[in-house]
Amino acid sequence: MVRTWAVSGVDLHLDLTGTRVRAALEAALRDAVRTGRLAEGVRLPSSRALAGDLGIARNTVADAYGRLVAEGWLTARPGSGTSVASRPVAAGRVPPPPVPRERPVRYDLRPGSPALSLFPRTAWLAAARRALNTAPAEELGYGHTRGLPRLRTALATYLARTRGVHADPERLVVCSGFTQALGLLAQVLRSRGATGVGIEAYGHRQHAEVLTAGGLRPRPVPVDAHGAVLGGSEAGALLLTPAHQFPLGMPLAAHRRAEAVRWAHDTGGLVIEDDYDGEFRYDRQPVGALQALAPDHVVYAGTASKSLAPGLRLAWLVLPADLVEPVGEAKRIADGHTSTLEQLTLSEFLTSGDYDRQVRRCRLAYRRRRDRLVTALRRDAPDVRVTGIAAGMQALLELPPGTDEDEVIARAARRGLALEGLRAYRRDTGDRGPALIVGYATPPEHAYTGALARLCAVLIP
């Protein structure tokens, strides 16, 4: 007799083989413990519950439990039920080697991550509650491929007001993070015959990986003090960070913005505008979105990863009319739709004004952190030049000529401080000299003072 049952309370199946039910149950439980399917400390269902699941007598289960307790496979405590016992390593059995661990990172100043401690937990939960209480049942089903209409409307209103984007809700596609958004664009461009994309010579490493995976060849575009040097790019598209170049920190100059738009008009090419942190500016007037200059030639890409948290996986594309259907279809094939619950909550967060309050809160916190970084470096490492700090969440620290960038990073690692050098973000053969990219938003507040102290210490040989 073979019976397979799902056990109540734990994710496990038991195969009861043979006519002696108690012996079969004991053997199945031993095997589950021995193979690790029942881990140490897992609480088993009560004898009544397990007997009901298996369709056998409760006394049979109780007797099997008692036998396995006596043998040391299980433990039983009054009021605590029956659990899997801890077992020593058998004689002659060699335990698996320990998994090697990386050197612990106590302080992290690598760029790219926001201050996760600033995530508005209370306000987000309240928005989620309001959104779920008012959402019709239909919105909890298979969602609209391009995003919930209410979220696309809220985003269009917000982007037009704060970034100057020409954002028709019908031209928006909500994506599961910027990585997916860029991947969808790469697929569509490749299907239209594009073979390459111009990307800034210094930039996110993952962007080049995503484009390559989509069948496009990344072609580095030089960057100078005015931003990307477009020249006569022969790529079918350009990926730019106009508001705040990553990682060098300058905005794309007005004449370069005009060149980008003119290039798109003349060649029929597409500009992809990565506005990853355009909401955070400190010592300058806001730089509006490039998309406003040519909505039919520029894709605007934004994300909630920096203002809220990367874990939400929420991003959006504002597309030229001719790309809406193909990008929407690529999104449908990729994952159907982005999580409805997060979309409902973000929509409520935007319309209630909570998003604006969160951006202002982050802007103030990041400015204070930036000022503390600049003050500490001027005092303790005056030979280091700090640039790219008028906006964003990171600073470029230009090291004295002849400094070994890798040695500084290694010295920091030995002190428990994680840093990244500018060379790691370079895509061509040029060299701007040794420098560090310091993400001042990354450490939690309680660790920021210590992180700055160690940074200054490693910058002094």
**How far, in Å, CA of 50 to CA of 208, rounded?**
54
User: What is the per-residue pLDDT for 38?
Assistant: 84
The radius of gyration of the chain from alpha carbons, rounded to an integer in Å, stands at 28
Nearest to 55 by CA among 100, 12, 102, 6: 6
DSSP output for 336-372:
SS--HHHHHHHHHHHHTTHHHHHHHHHHHHHHHHHHH
**How far, in Å, CA of 272 to CA of 269, rounded?**
10
Question: Cβ atoms within 10 A of the Cβ of 227, count?
Answer: 24
User: What is the per-residue pLDDT for 86?
Assistant: 84
Say if residues 196 and 235 touch (Cβ distance below 8 Å). Answer: yes
**How far, in Å, CA of 212 to CA of 197, rounded?**
9
pLDDT above 90 (res 387): yes
**How far, in Å, CA of 241 to CA of 272, rounded?**
9
The tokens for 244 are 């705040």
User: What is the per-residue pLDDT for 94?
Assistant: 56
Sequence-ordered list of residues with C-beta below 8 angstroms from that of 319, at least 6 positions apart, any chain: 171, 172, 173, 299, 327
pLDDT above 90 (res 354): yes
- In eight-state DSSP terms, residue 218 is E
The tokens for 449 are 């003072």
pLDDT above 70 (res 361): yes
Least confident residue range of 86-95, 363-372, 383-392, 412-421: 86-95
Sequence-ordered list of residues with C-beta below 8 angstroms from that of 78, at least 6 positions apart, any chain: none
User: What is the per-residue pLDDT for 3?
Assistant: 53
Per-residue pLDDT of 159-216, as tens digits, reads 999 999 999 999 999 999 999 999 999 999 999 999 999 999 999 989 999 999 999 9
Percent of the chain with pLDDT over 90: 67
Q: Per-residue pLDDT averaged across 378-386, rounded?
A: 95
User: What is the per-residue pLDDT for 203?
Assistant: 93
Please report where in the chains the tokens 């060379």 appear, as a residue: 423
Per-residue pLDDT of 204-220, as tens digits, reads 989 999 999 999 999 99
Q: Is 230 left (phi over 0), alpha (psi -120 to 50) or beta?
A: alpha
User: What is the per-residue pLDDT for 128?
Assistant: 96
User: What is the per-residue pLDDT for 40?
Assistant: 87
User: What is the per-residue pLDDT for 96?
Assistant: 59
- In eight-state DSSP terms, residue 309 is -
Say if residues 174 and 152 touch (Cβ distance below 8 Å). Answer: yes
For the chain, domains (ranges, CATH) are 2-84 (1.10.10.10), 107-113+360-459 (3.90.1150.10), 119-356 (3.40.640.10)
Q: Per-residue pLDDT averaged across 352-372, rounded?
A: 96
Percent of the chain with pLDDT over 70: 92
Q: Which of the pair, 83 or 302, is modelled with greater confidence?
A: 302
pLDDT above 70 (res 7): no
User: What is the per-residue pLDDT for 95?
Assistant: 57
Sequence-ordered list of residues with C-beta below 8 angstroms from that of 15, at least 6 positions apart, any chain: 2, 3, 4, 28
Residue 364 buriedness (CB in 10 A; 0-12 / 13-18 / 19+): exposed
pLDDT above 80 (res 100): no
**How far, in Å, CA of 26 to CA of 64, rounded?**
6
pLDDT band at 344 (very low <50, low <70, confident <90, very high): very high
The tokens for 174 are 């909500």
The tokens for 77 are 């405590």
The tokens for 308 are 């809220």
User: What is the per-residue pLDDT for 12?
Assistant: 55
